[in-house]
Structure 1
């Protein structure tokens, strides 16, 4: 039997029809990049988050916080988002439509590569499909991605075919370097490739930087500038000191936060995959920079992951499976803690229904690495849109804590006891008190902060400059103002200090989950179509399904109503979400309706349920097989199935099979 071709349009129709989610404000025409979750989507999303909470926060004993969405500008200035959190866009010069320039160029080049690929560049004889060394033109051969000259008489081809090979390689090189491009390079590429607006065909403007954060004013005066947070991480970083105290000053520890973030995407598209408001679940694992081992590493060390290292990407290689232990030993993954979370991410994704064979971990290349990261891997899921980043797992080093310390003067460090106390020579630059209010006035606090943040090397440089020039110019970190400080305004203080502890700024390992992208991947990987009647449904794991079971009376017979109430109360007592469907229509049609919203189990009340010891049937969604069991034990049975305490195969052995109603094929 031929493999079923995935039909995205059918899945999207089912999602919209059964209101898993839909575009926001649709009766007003909708707003791109904004989506509303319907009852099914809301329940499914809540189930995914609950599993995430249990898998990470509970099992790893993390500290959960819930921080403000509104973020003052100084916080995001310190983190680098105000200056760096931008994409370049171009505008249609006529319609003013905006396009993200790197995405526009990438789409255009991919079309060119496809158009320049040729099936006619074959040798006169020899060779076969799948060869790693294929002669490809009249003058050159391609071997492992390298082109070299060969005898023309061995090939059928023209000079044009050689040009195509060179063009394709040039285009592929551009794609790997696109993240490094500056505005002038983007503009030159647009001119060279004659790229126009994909909507109207009009000319495009020069590339412009566009900050992706939504800005706002906090308070009625409008004087406090702020943003809707672009990530949840900063709320954890600014609370590091209190979290460390709560953890009794000990490293390592992890904090987690689940909540919405906002990014003003230039051209949102692909449903939930690129939106302007989205739910994130982020973990910040604080660890000693000199010891990034993990106490539970052995638990996942033998797990096999599909890894796509940066070097393989540069060499034109492919992703391959490695044991996690092997990847750490080879320094492919930077450290045990990063690797541990990659393993836990894989286990979480497969637990909620992402297909194991459609998961890979791709390492960021240097030109795409975030400004704060020293190593980063994306857990990507294969969908009809291609490989989609669903989870980022980064070693953010000490960047964020250092930046917030520089901006506030508050030490965000932990203390590590020394085996023996040490004596340290300390040098400080002190500002003479008589100049603070008299000369610096309202900048006095910021001047003191500036000098308090200097390290020993910076102090030595400034002292030398004072001696040579008699004055220096400084830029205040808080407001960016430039001030001139003369030698007579300061004095240098030197003394010895006995230290019993060492102050360290922790490194941070950050797994960051995009719940919407994960949810879409789960839906696509579990979208099915019945072979006989082509009815569509979702085969979600019971833990993720919006409802765990349905109650279906065979008809509207009034004798069934008391049994429905008894079953519903019993299921509710066991916290089993369920849906009662006593609507008109055949039982087969109602089974199909419950399948569409991924309900894994269906209880049917029929006339055999009206006896002294009532029994009901239980139907399993994917196999459509049914068993009959006593009504008073059915709720516990469903609970055990949903908690994976028992399998459907076990149930079929323990209970008699029932011939299902849909065996008649009469759904009408």
Structure 2
């Protein structure tokens, strides 16, 4: 048996720097199979555009039976790999969210992309997408300036409005028809709606699941006994009003997400479990190598933390866990990397961000983000809700600590702030203001600046000068610390992961003719087993029912194919939707109850009793690392059977 276009090459064990030819080879392979893959996705109804009979709707997709099962398999594995194995808490918040939540988090004002408009047709496009496509065109037309164009392409989604306008002017970017674009303008991506019959309460369809965890932090902390660190996960649907949806499931307007918020002491982001993964090697694309147009580097996580390439152990630990998860769902190593955010694309409050990216026929695609978001989210909700989001950690023995306190210079302080005097004095005396007082001291009395802008909330903003206050050191007995926790956030786009699994798993096998195969891992295969009777005779019905019942009782999803096609064609049909195992019922089954088990990728078969075969499938689905079987173990334990001539 020959395998045609089946990419099955192992990377060398040690690669100090990722050689680009590996990526290029894999990218070429993905593009070669793209047309055939798209055909199978549509024909076997993995997914299709919503309201297809009415012409479809951009950015919205309906999943068919195999697509639905694939998505649920990925989510089941995700929950097992993260929520259960890591001992996380789990919540389920509403998709429809009151606007005050997103006003507080900053989404209402800042959750946008930049849009440009065709001045002739008024068609809208995302500015960074147009910029990326134009740079690709220039790279092909003017390879001398390749490095310049590549760098612009890498930074495309991190430019400001002014920078985008300058680049469109510099490179004379136009539409495919040669029309000019308008200036870039921000477009908020959230879907707004009204709550209630009078429309007096505004709401949004959530653009992420994270805020549902943050607004429930106090209850989660109480549920966890007031102890840090702890993590909470959530799986759910999110919505974004994408300007120009494209690339199938890659950029859509409604999509499943799985997110984790890991709450940790901002002064201690170490991770006890990091020891387990510190020697794991993953492909990293740090910002320095991006800016210098260099390739990825393969490095141990422990070394990356030591060199301060990755900010802290907890962030690195989750990157390692994500890598293992993505490998388990079936993504190829040469099509997987972690790219660090450049300084100008990272949120101002974030301390480090890394995206897990998968190589597809469309190029590199972000499928999971990993961010050290500091204490921004909880601080924002604490400020707007007036609820205390701080955690108290007691000392074993009370400590006397030197602290900074402010003393107003009266009456100048009262005369300047008038009615706000009492509010401001109370605010600056609170424990939560200790870090603010430290900043005021550094700005006014160490750096000798003329004033400090104290922003208490969106409405209250005060200018403080050295003439109005003095800051003195004093000693204070403390039994513990109060602080707002920092957050490490791994966030997964399940739809994107699902699409990447489809691309990475697909290949074309050549026997006497070309056959499409999805090489799904048993963990995520939409259906685990197919039951095939070799004949449609009535006498086979009791055996079919018996096998189907045994598989169902063992928790193994199965499909029964009793069509009149040849056994070879029915095997090919099961391979085309990625079913890893097939139980075949033949005339010997009627005589002694034994059945054959066929494995999709090798097409080899073994024979055993129904009980033995069901047990073998259970162990194959469990996997070697978790105490189960590999296919080679099954071949050694059970009697091998020759491939039927009709399948050949």
Do they superpose with TM above 0.5? yes
Q: In structure 2, what is the Cα distance between the partners aligned to 1:665 and 1:562?
A: 25
The equivalent of 1:214 in structure 2 is: 191
Question: Per-residue CA shift, 1:241-295, capped at 9, x if unaligned?
Answer: 1111111011100000000111111111111111111111101111111111111
Q: Are 2:227 and 1:250 equivalent residues in the alignment?
A: yes
| Residue 342 (structure 2) aligned to one of 345, 365, 368 | 365
The equivalent of 1:143 in structure 2 is: none
Q: In structure 1, what is the Cα distance between the partners aligned to 2:198 and 2:363?
A: 47
| Residue 510 (structure 1) aligned to one of 489, 498, 520 | 489
For residues 630 and 182 of structure 1, do their structure 2 counterparts lie closer, same or farther at Cα, with a shift above 3 Å needed? closer
Aligned residues of 2:287 and 2:342 also touching (Cα < 8 A): yes
Q: In structure 2, what is the Cα distance between the partners aligned to 1:653 and 1:181?
A: 58
Helix, strand or coil for the counterpart of 1:30?
A: coil
Aligned residues of 1:372 and 1:400 also touching (Cα < 8 A): no
Displacement of 1:604:
1.0
The equivalent of 1:555 in structure 2 is: 535
Q: Give the TM-score normalised by structure 1.
A: 0.82
Structure 1 segments unaligned to the other structure (5+ residues): 118-164, 430-438, 465-471, 485-494
Q: In structure 2, what is the Cα distance between the partners aligned to 1:608 and 1:459?
A: 82
Aligned residues of 1:547 and 1:577 also touching (Cα < 8 A): yes
Question: Per-residue CA shift, 1:517-557, capped at 9, x if unaligned?
Answer: 11111111110111221110201011111111111111111
Aligned residues of 2:5 and 2:508 also touching (Cα < 8 A): no
Question: Per-residue CA shift, 1:123-156, capped at 9, x if unaligned?
Answer: xxxxxxxxxxxxxxxxxxxxxxxxxxxxxxxxxx
The equivalent of 1:27 in structure 2 is: 53
Q: In structure 2, what is the Cα distance between the partners aligned to 1:422 and 1:634?
A: 69
Aligned residues of 1:447 and 1:476 also touching (Cα < 8 A): no
1:507-586 alignment, distance < 5 Å: 507-532=486-511, 533-586=513-566
- Which stretch shifts more, 496-505 or 240-249? 496-505
Q: Are 2:589 and 1:638 equivalent residues in the alignment?
A: no
1:261-660 alignment, distance < 5 Å: 261-418=238-395, 419-422=397-400, 457=437, 477=457, 480=459, 499-532=478-511, 533-611=513-591, 613-644=592-623, 645-660=628-643
Aligned residues of 2:379 and 2:484 also touching (Cα < 8 A): yes
Ranked by relative contact order (alpha carbons within 8 Å, sequence separation 6 or more), the top structure is: 2
Q: Which runs of 4+ in 1 moved over 6 A?
A: 423-429, 444-453, 458-461, 472-476, 481-484
The equivalent of 1:469 in structure 2 is: none
Displacement of 1:577:
0.3
RMSD after superposition: 3.1
Aligned residues of 2:594 and 2:607 also touching (Cα < 8 A): yes
Displacement of 1:60:
0.7
Displacement of 1:565:
1.0
Larger radius of gyration: 1
Question: Per-residue CA shift, 1:587-615, capped at 9, x if unaligned?
Answer: 1111111111111111111111111x221
Q: Are 2:137 and 1:111 equivalent residues in the alignment?
A: yes
The equivalent of 2:414 in structure 1 is: none
Helix, strand or coil for the counterpart of 2:373?
A: strand
Displacement of 1:451:
9.8
Q: Are 2:75 and 1:49 equivalent residues in the alignment?
A: yes
Displacement of 1:422:
4.4
Q: In structure 2, what is the Cα distance between the partners aligned to 1:287 and 1:451?
A: 26
Q: In structure 1, what is the Cα distance between the partners aligned to 2:148 and 2:637?
A: 64
Displacement of 1:324:
1.1
- Which stretch shifts more, 33-42 or 418-427? 418-427
Q: Are 2:102 and 1:76 equivalent residues in the alignment?
A: yes
Aligned residues of 1:446 and 1:477 also touching (Cα < 8 A): no
Q: In structure 2, what is the Cα distance between the partners aligned to 1:374 and 1:458?
A: 20
Displacement of 1:114:
1.2
Displacement of 1:94:
2.8
Q: In structure 1, what is the Cα distance between the partners aligned to 2:456 and 2:264?
A: 31
Displacement of 1:496:
10
Aligned residues of 1:446 and 1:476 also touching (Cα < 8 A): no
Q: In structure 1, what is the Cα distance between the partners aligned to 2:454 and 2:519?
A: 63
Displacement of 1:460:
8.2
Aligned residues of 1:251 and 1:287 also touching (Cα < 8 A): yes
Q: In structure 2, what is the Cα distance between the partners aligned to 1:48 and 1:448?
A: 51
Q: Are 2:178 and 1:195 equivalent residues in the alignment?
A: no
Displacement of 1:329:
1.1
Helix, strand or coil for the counterpart of 2:602?
A: coil
The equivalent of 2:40 in structure 1 is: 14
Aligned residues of 2:151 and 2:293 also touching (Cα < 8 A): no
Aligned residues of 1:426 and 1:497 also touching (Cα < 8 A): no
Q: In structure 2, what is the Cα distance between the partners aligned to 1:216 and 1:381?
A: 34
Displacement of 1:186:
2.5
Structure 2 segments unaligned to the other structure (5+ residues): 7-28, 409-417, 445-451, 464-473
The equivalent of 1:101 in structure 2 is: 127
Q: In structure 2, what is the Cα distance between the partners aligned to 1:595 and 1:308?
A: 36
Question: Per-residue CA shift, 1:549-573, capped at 9, x if unaligned?
Answer: 1111111111110111111111111
Question: Per-residue CA shift, 1:409-434, capped at 9, x if unaligned?
Answer: 211111111331548787699xxxxx
The equivalent of 2:413 in structure 1 is: none
Aligned residues of 2:399 and 2:479 also touching (Cα < 8 A): yes
